[in-house]
Amino acid sequence: MYEVDGMVQGAEAKMKGSAAEAVKVVVRCRPMNEQETANGHKRVVDMDVDRGVVELRNIKALDTDPRKTFTFDAVYDWNSKQQELYDETFRPLIESVLCGFNGTIFAYGQTGTGKTYTMEGIRDDPEHRGVIPNSFEHIFNHIARSVNQQYLIRASYLEIYQEEIRDLLGKDQKKRLELKERPDTGVYVRDLQQFVCKSVNEIQHVMTVGNQNRAVGSTNMNLHSSRSHAIFIITIECSDVDEKGKSRIRVGKLNLVDLAGSERQSKTGTVGDRLKEATKINLSLSALGNVISALVDGKSTHIPYRDSKLTRLLQDSLGGNSKTIMVANIGPASYNYDETITTLRYANRAKNIKNKPKINEDPKDAILREYQQELARLKAQLTQRGGKKKKKKKRVDGDEGEGEEEEDEEGIDEESILQQQHELDEERNRILNDQHMIEEEKERFLLELKNKEAELIATREAQEKLMTRIQTMESKLLSGGKNIIDHTNEQQRALQQRTQELMDQKKREREMLQLLEKEEESSCEIASTFSSLQAEVEAKTRKLKKLFAKLQSVKQEMGDLHEEFCRDRVDLQNTQDVLTRELKLKALIIENFISPEEKRKILSRAFFDDDEDIWKLRPVVRQTGGTLKRPVSSASRRPTSEYAKMQASVDHNPRYKGENIMVVELDPAVRTTRDWEGPLVAPRVAAALEAALMPLDEDLSIDASLATLNRSQAVRSTRKEKTKGKFKSGLRPPSQVPDSSMYPKSRGLVPK
Ligand code: ADP
Ligand code: MG
């Protein structure tokens, strides 16, 4: 155990001393999937794991064209195992987080290349478990083996989709969270849930719940996950005693980021909301790219962290005080060539970011400190209660020995309560059985006893509450050393250490190889002497050939980059065109349909919210002064004579009133309706109806001519005046009334 301790401390010292440290970039290529194999796709990616080199062939290019070569901190080919990645690349980072550094792991790459596989993998399968579940195990194992340290582990899980932050552990999944900034602790997500986790199972449960929520919010999970960023955050607080015997708290925060798919989103041809969506989907990702470019550029004074939520939130991880690893995931097949090369270029740039990791010692927002203080307070409270109890006890039976006070307070307390309970029972029995006592006195004693008992129970309950509170709080604080003598544990640790050493060695070898290669390229064999001219020519020709090939590849790379740049530029220009068109349309609408007064009002209310990066409107404030003044009181409006004042009190004539108010009696409205009376049927019509309802032998024909109807005044309504007038005005002049002969004859009500 001392070995490990010593090792960790040694590593710590080493890490503390190191100033700038580059972002570590590793590339992982997934195997061909069944479909790709079935479709006969060719693999265009070659990987030299020992040297950390990726080579890419373009099947469209000529055979003579040089391959694209990239060198990284490590590369993992299709045969790589999750555990291997963890031990070699991620374990040291998690170890640093346990020491109080901030750490971040990004998975970057096109959709379907294994980002989620690398981060999460298949959780129930130990072989395919990704870095997140592996880190859970690692962290809790570390704690179990720790000595004289107390840990508090918290987990949060969030998602950024279209620039909106959603808490995947929150109760209300519709709620969107905001980013806030504090000068002492930096950028944070307001109201983000944090769950204290006491074991691997608990933290795994947190992750499961988050993943379920992630799936629930989306209709198409594949599309959704390829367009959103998921960030799992583990905060590790550790308290221990330093060399000088001073207690200290170190806080490490681990961000595990599964980024959105990096594939190019087509923006051309989209308008309106769809365009907005398309621009927003990868806004965070392109902002990430811009931040990386600005960081490695060396000339930029402004790093555009504020351009997106993701870059703001992970500001520390890029050029800040975090230790950062980027995993660039690529696909092996030829049809992925374009995306693969873009990913590799992106990763290649990220290699040059320099961070300045530092341990967070005694930060203001450490919760562990609060916990410890609260615990101490509660314990003190408990002790105080215990003290009181003892005094009471002493009073009850004065012959208690003094020595008992030295005993464990909690124990004696519990005991004393039991004893008191017992004594009370005895007392009660004694009183009940006492024949000489008067009934009244008996009752009084019994009541007193009852009160005493109630008091005892209350204290007992309070005490128990306090105890459980202390226990729950204590259970959240984790510490190791429980089975420190455990043999298997010891062996495991030794094994792990050996694996770690092996991995370190491998890493060193790779670094040496890379260094050697670099040196070989740059040194010009100045010192070498040649036995003959011939040898010199040969050597120089070889050198020339090599350099020429290099030149060609650099030239080609330049061409490619230029091409890519042009493509991006056209893309941006297109977006800009569409946006300009939209803007013009809106301006046109405002110009022509919105009154200048209204526009001015809205403009005066608009302000830019820095925290949320959007324009907002201030609420409307009612103006108390100025335009909205109370009208001048009627009394003082104009000079009034005494006579007028007197008249005003008796006469209601408005001329004596101070206000311009007319007293108007309510006018009863003129009635425009009549009561229903039922139709009056003319005798002729009645006769006709009767005739019509009789069974007929002969054919009847209807004369639908309006003129006929009118002339005969067939139906007389009771609303005579009105309907009549209307009827008349709507009537065509008699000359235009079509002749009845124009209509076909049919059976009808009116006989001919
Ligand atoms: P992404 O999250 O980048 O969209 P996934 O992680 O979902 O991609 O991976 C897509 C598929 O490829 C999954 O079925 C996954 O199991 C598989 N896969 C990815 N990487 C590997 C790998 N290294 N080994 C085996 N299978 C892999
Ligand atoms: Mg994914």
pLDDT in tens, 263-282: 877 655 566 666 666 677 77
pLDDT value at residue 674: 84
| DSSP-based three-state secondary structure for 289 | helix
Percent of the chain scoring above 90 in pLDDT = 24
CA geometry: angle 573, 68, 350, nearest 5 deg = 60
Among 84-93, 285-294, 328-337, whose mean pLDDT is lowest? 285-294
Q: 168 vs 157, 171, 210, 336, 557, CA distance in Å? A: 5, 9, 5, 32, 42
Q: Kindly give the distance from the C-alpha atom of residue 329 to the centroid of ligand 1, in angstroms, as a whole number.
A: 9
pLDDT value at residue 624: 58
Whether the per-residue pLDDT at 564 is higher than 80: the answer is yes
pLDDT value at residue 196: 92
Nearest partner of 52 among 73, 82, 81, judged by Cα: 73
pLDDT value at residue 215: 80
Instruction: Concatenate the DSSP letters of all residues of 236-268 into one string.
Output: EEEEEE-TTS-EEEEEEEEEEEEPPP-SPPP-T
170 Cβ below 6 A of ligand 1: no
Among 64-68, 89-93, 117-121, whose mean pLDDT is lowest? 64-68
d(CA 726, CA 728): 5
76 Cβ below 6 A of ligand 1: no
Nearest partner of 481 among 5, 113, 160, judged by Cα: 5
Structure tokens at 285: 């990702």
CB atoms within 10 A of CB 540: 13
Whether the per-residue pLDDT at 117 is higher than 90: the answer is yes
Q: What is the band of 257 on the pLDDT scale with cuts at 50, 70, 90?
A: very high
Give the DSSP letter of residue 630.
P
Q: What is the band of 660 on the pLDDT scale with cuts at 50, 70, 90?
A: low
Q: Which residue has the higher pLDDT, 238 or 267?
A: 238
**93 close to 325: Cβ distance less than 8 angstroms:** yes
Give CA 283 to chain center in angstroms: 15
d(CA 298, CA 283): 23
115 Cβ below 6 A of ligand 1: yes
- Average pLDDT on 241-248 reads 83
Q: Kindly give the distance from the C-alpha atom of residue 112 to the centroid of ligand 2, in angstroms, as a whole number.
A: 7
- Average pLDDT on 387-414 reads 42
Q: Terminal CA-to-CA distance of the chain, rounded, Å?
A: 123
Q: What is the band of 729 on the pLDDT scale with cuts at 50, 70, 90?
A: very low
Q: What is the band of 719 on the pLDDT scale with cuts at 50, 70, 90?
A: very low
Q: Kindly give the distance from the C-alpha atom of residue 121 to the centroid of ligand 1, in angstroms, as a whole number.
A: 8
pLDDT value at residue 266: 66
Give CA 516 to chain center in angstroms: 45
30 Cβ below 6 A of ligand 1: yes
pLDDT value at residue 659: 62
Whether the per-residue pLDDT at 314 is higher than 80: the answer is yes
Q: 300 vs 221, 293, 295, 304, 512, CA distance in Å? A: 38, 9, 7, 10, 32
Q: 681 vs 690, 724, 727, CA distance in Å? A: 12, 16, 18
Atom of ligand 1 nearest to the CA of 78: 23
d(CA 158, CA 230): 6
Whether the per-residue pLDDT at 231 is higher than 60: the answer is yes
Q: 502 vs 77, 80, 441, 518, 590, CA distance in Å? A: 19, 16, 87, 24, 69
Q: What is the band of 10 on the pLDDT scale with cuts at 50, 70, 90?
A: very low
For ligand 1, atom 5, which residue shows the shortest CA distance? 114
84 Cβ below 6 A of ligand 1: no
d(CA 615, CA 412): 66
Nearest partner of 286 among 575, 715, 681, 638, judged by Cα: 575
Whether the per-residue pLDDT at 713 is higher than 60: the answer is no
Give the DSSP letter of residue 86.
I
117 Cβ below 6 A of ligand 1: yes
Cβ partners under 8 Å of residue 115, min gap 6: 107, 108, 109, 258, 259, 261, 327, 329
Among 172-186, 341-355, 374-388, 494-508, whose mean pLDDT is lowest? 374-388
pLDDT value at residue 626: 55
Q: Which residue has the higher pLDDT, 6 or 274?
A: 274
d(CA 160, CA 212): 16
Atom of ligand 1 nearest to the CA of 29: 23
Whether the per-residue pLDDT at 17 is higher than 70: the answer is no
- One-letter identity of residue 526: I
Among 438-442, 623-627, 664-668, whose mean pLDDT is lowest? 623-627
Residue carrying structure tokens 């001073």: 246
Whether the per-residue pLDDT at 90 is higher than 90: the answer is yes
pLDDT in tens, 522-563: 665 555 667 778 888 888 888 899 888 889 888 888 988 898
Ligand found nearest the CA of 336: 1
| CB-neighbour burial class of residue 419 (10 A; exposed 0-12, middle 13-18, buried 19+) | middle
| DSSP-based three-state secondary structure for 147 | coil
Q: What is the band of 389 on the pLDDT scale with cuts at 50, 70, 90?
A: very low
Cβ partners under 8 Å of residue 553, min gap 6: 66, 68, 69
Whether the per-residue pLDDT at 88 is higher than 80: the answer is yes
Give CA 728 to chain center in angstroms: 73
Instruction: Kindly report the average pLDDT of the chain as a whole number.
Output: 79
Among 110-124, 572-586, 663-677, 707-721, whose mean pLDDT is lowest? 707-721
Q: Which residue has the higher pLDDT, 700 or 521?
A: 521
For ligand 1, atom 19, which residue shows the shortest CA distance? 114
- Average pLDDT on 574-586 reads 90
Give CA 608 to chain center in angstroms: 22
Ligand found nearest the CA of 109: 1
Ligand found nearest the CA of 111: 1
3-state secondary structure 562-614: HHHHHHHHHHHHHHHHHHHHHHHHHHHHHHHHCCHHHHHHHHHHEEEECCCCE
Q: Given its phi and psi angles, is residue 308 left (phi above 0), alpha (psi -120 to 50 degrees) or beta?
A: beta
- Average pLDDT on 689-712 reads 59
**143 close to 295: Cβ distance less than 8 angstroms:** no
